[in-house]
Amino acid sequence: MNEVSQQARRGPSQRNVEIGVALVTGLLGAVTMIGSWQVGIGWGVEGPRAGFFPFYVGLIIAGCSLVNVVKAASETPVGDLFADYGQLGSVMSVMIPTAIYVAVIPYTGIYAASIVLIAVFMKWLGRYGIALTLAISIGVPVSIFLMFEKWFLVSLPKGPIEDLLGL
Amino acid sequence: MEDVVNLFHGFAVVLQPFNLAVMVLGIVLGVIIGVLPGLGGANGIAILLPLTFSMSPTSAIIMLSCIYWGALFGGAITSVLFNIPGEPWSVATTFDGHPMAQQGRAGEALTAAFTSSFVGALFAVIVITLVAPLVALFALKFGPAEKFSVFFLAFCSFIGMGKEPPFKTLVSMMIGFALAAVGLDSVTGQLRLTFGFTDFLNGFDFLIAVIGLFGIGEILLTMEEGLAFKGKAVAINPRVVWQTWLELPRYWMTSLRSCLIGCWMGISPAGATPASFMSYGIAKRISKRGFNFGKGEIEGVVAPETAAHAAGTAALLPMLSLGVPGSPTAAVLLGGLLIWGLQPGPLLFVEQKDFVWGLIASMYIGNLVGLIIVLTMVPLFAAILRIPFSVIAPVILVICAIGAYTVHNSTFDVVMMLVFGIVGYVMKKCDYPLAPMVLAIVLGDKAEEAFRQSLLASQGHLAVFWSNGLVGSIMALGLISLFWPLIQGAWSRMRARPAS
Amino acid sequence: MSHALKAALLGAAVLSVSPVSAALAAWEPTRTVEIIVPAGPGGGADQMARVVQGIVTKHNLMKQAMVVINKAGAAGGEGFLDVKGSNANPHKLVITLSNLFTTPLATGIPFNWKDLTPVAMMALDEFVLWVNADKPYKSVKDYITAIKAKGPGEFKMGGTGSKQEDQIITVAIEKAANVKLTYIPFRGGGEVAVQLVGGHVDSTVNNPIEAVAQWRAGKVRPLCVFDGKPLPYTDKVTADMAWSDIPTCKSQGLDMEYVMLRGFFMPAGVTKDQVAFYVDLLQKVRETPEWKDLMKTGAFNQTFMIGDEYAKWVAAEEARHRDLMTAAGFLAGK
Q: What is the pLDDT of residues A60-112, one digit of tens each?
A: 999 999 999 999 998 888 778 888 888 898 899 889 999 999 999 999 999 99
C36 bridge partner residues: C69, C94
Query: What are the chain A neighbours of B459 within 8 Å (beta carbons)?
Result: 45-46
B318, B326 Cβ separation under 8 angstroms: yes
Q: What is the C-alpha to C-alpha distance for residues C272 and C18, in angstroms, rounded to an integer?
A: 16
Stronger pLDDT, C9 or C191, i.e. the higher one = C191
Phi then psi dihedrals of residue C131, to 5 deg: -130, 165
**What number is the average pLDDT over the span C220-240?**
92
Q: Is the pLDDT of residue C334 over 50?
A: no
B421, B217 Cβ separation under 8 angstroms: yes
Query: What are the chain C neighbours of B347 within 8 Å (beta carbons)?
Result: 213, 216-217
State the smallest CA–CA distance between residue B181 and chain C in angstroms. 12
* A134 located within any domain: yes
SS3 label, residue C304:
coil
- Are residues A107 and A55 part of one domain? no
Residue spans per domain, chain C: 2-125+260-328, 128-252
Please answer yes or no on whether C182 and A155 come within 8 Å at the CB atom: no
Please answer yes or no on whether A155 and C67 come within 8 Å at the CB atom: yes
Query: What residues make up the domain containing A159?
Result: 85-165
| Fold of the domain spanning C2-125+260-328 | D-Maltodextrin-Binding Protein; domain 2 (3.40.190)
**What number is the average pLDDT over the span B2-19?**
82
- Pick from C47, C156, C161: which is nearest to B457 by CB? C156
* Boundary of a domain, candidates A55, A75, A95: A75
C-alpha to C-alpha distances, B373 to B302, C142, C180, nearest whole angstrom = 19, 60, 59
Please answer yes or no on whether B178 and A61 come within 8 Å at the CB atom: yes
A110 touches chain B (CB under 8 A): yes
Lowest mean pLDDT among B10-19, C11-20, C71-80, C120-129: C11-20
If you count them, how many residues does chain C have? Answer: 334
* A 28-57 residues inside an 8 A Cβ radius of B: 28-29, 32, 35-36, 38-39, 43, 45-51, 53-54, 57
* Boundary of a domain, candidates A52, A75, A98: A75
Please answer yes or no on whether B390 and A126 come within 8 Å at the CB atom: yes
Please answer yes or no on whether C47 and B338 come within 8 Å at the CB atom: yes
Please answer yes or no on whether B189 and C186 come within 8 Å at the CB atom: no
Residue B260 CB coordination number (10 Å): 16
B346 touches chain C (CB under 8 A): yes
Lowest mean pLDDT among B19-28, B279-288, C9-18: C9-18
Which residue of chain A has the CA closest to B167?
A64
C86, C94 Cβ separation under 8 angstroms: no
Q: Is the pLDDT of residue C222 over 80?
A: yes
**Letter string b/e over residues B420-457, b meaning 16 or more CB atoms within 10 A of that residue's CB:** bbbbbbbbbbbebbbbbbbbbbbbbbbbbbbbbbbbbb
State the smallest CA–CA distance between residue A105 and chain B in angstroms. 7
* A19 located within any domain: yes
Please answer yes or no on whether A46 and C182 come within 8 Å at the CB atom: yes
Which residue of chain A has the CA closest to C31?
A167
Lowest mean pLDDT among B13-27, B216-230, B265-279, C4-18: C4-18
B191 touches chain C (CB under 8 A): yes
Which residue of chain B has the CA closest to A66?
B167
- What are the residues whose beta carbons fall under 8 Å from the beta carbon of A163, sequence distance 6 or more? none
- Pick from B331, B334, B459: which is nearest to C153 by CB? B459
- Are residues A101 and A152 part of one domain? yes
* A158 located within any domain: yes
The predicted-structure confidence for B103-114, as pLDDT tens digits, reads as follows 888 889 999 999
Total of domains in chain B: 1
Q: What is the C-alpha to C-alpha distance for residues B226 and C107, in angstroms, rounded to an integer?
A: 49
Q: Is the pLDDT of residue C275 over 90?
A: yes
Would you state the torsion angle of the CA atoms of residues B390, B393, B395, B398, taken in this order, to the nearest 10 degrees? -130
∠ CA(B207), CA(B209), CA(B211), 5° rounding?
Answer: 65
The predicted-structure confidence for C76-133, as pLDDT tens digits, reads as follows 888 898 899 888 899 999 999 888 999 998 888 889 999 999 999 999 999 999 999 9
B293, B303 Cβ separation under 8 angstroms: no
Report chain B's mean pLDDT, rounded to a whole number: 83
∠ CA(A91), CA(A94), CA(A100), 5° rounding?
Answer: 130
Residue B35 CB coordination number (10 Å): 22
Query: What are the chain C neighbours of A46 within 8 Å (beta carbons)?
Result: 182
* A9 located within any domain: no
State the pLDDT confidence band at A116, using cuts at 50, 70 and 90.
Answer: very high
pLDDT at C18: 44
* A20 located within any domain: yes
C99, C76 Cβ separation under 8 angstroms: yes
| Residue among C232, C243, C47, C287 nearest C128 (CA) | C243
- Are residues A44 and A116 part of one domain? no
C299, C208 Cβ separation under 8 angstroms: yes
State the pLDDT confidence band at B291, using cuts at 50, 70 and 90.
Answer: confident
* A121 located within any domain: yes
The predicted-structure confidence for A6-15, as pLDDT tens digits, reads as follows 545 788 889 9
- Are residues A93 and A68 part of one domain? no
Neighbours of chain C (3+ CB pairs under 8 A): A, B
Query: What are the chain B neighbours of C38 within 8 Å (beta carbons)?
Result: none
Exposed / middle / buried, residue A34 (Cβ in 10 Å: 0-12, 13-18, 19+): middle
| Residue among C212, C159, C218 nearest C189 (CA) | C159
The predicted-structure confidence for B119-177, as pLDDT tens digits, reads as follows 999 999 998 888 776 777 787 888 889 989 988 988 888 776 566 788 898 899 999 99
Query: What are the chain A neighbours of B448 within 8 Å (beta carbons)?
Result: 53
B142 touches chain C (CB under 8 A): yes
Please answer yes or no on whether A152 and B44 come within 8 Å at the CB atom: yes
Q: Is the pLDDT of residue B229 over 50?
A: no
C-alpha to C-alpha distances, A65 to A59, B193, B429, B437, nearest whole angstrom = 10, 20, 17, 15
pLDDT at C41: 67
| Residue among B307, B290, B308, B280 nearest B155 (CA) | B280
Total of domains in chain A: 2
pLDDT at B321: 77
* A8 located within any domain: no
Would you state the torsion angle of the CA atoms of residues B58, B64, B67, B73, taken in this order, to the nearest 10 degrees? -80
Report chain C's mean pLDDT, rounded to a whole number: 86
Query: What are the chain A neighbours of B427 within 8 Å (beta carbons)?
Result: 21
Q: Is the pLDDT of residue C9 over 50?
A: no
Q: What percent of chain C has pLDDT over 90?
A: 49
pLDDT at C133: 92
Query: What residues make up the domain containing B89?
Result: 2-499
Q: Is the pLDDT of residue B343 over 80?
A: no
Q: Is the pLDDT of residue A124 over 90?
A: no
**What number is the average pLDDT over the span B69-83?**
86
pLDDT at B190: 81
Q: What is the C-alpha to C-alpha distance for residues C196 and C215, in angstroms, rounded to an integer?
A: 11
Neighbours of chain B (3+ CB pairs under 8 A): A, C
* A69 located within any domain: yes
Q: Is the pLDDT of residue A137 over 70?
A: yes
Q: Return the CATH superfamily for domain C128-252.
A: Periplasmic binding protein-like II (3.40.190.10)
N-terminal to C-terminal alpha carbon distance within chain B = 59
- Are residues A124 and A96 part of one domain? yes
C51, C286 Cβ separation under 8 angstroms: no
DSSP B195: T
Q: What percent of chain B has pLDDT over 90?
A: 19
**What number is the average pLDDT over the span B281-297?**
87
Q: Is the pLDDT of residue B7 over 70?
A: yes
C209, C184 Cβ separation under 8 angstroms: no
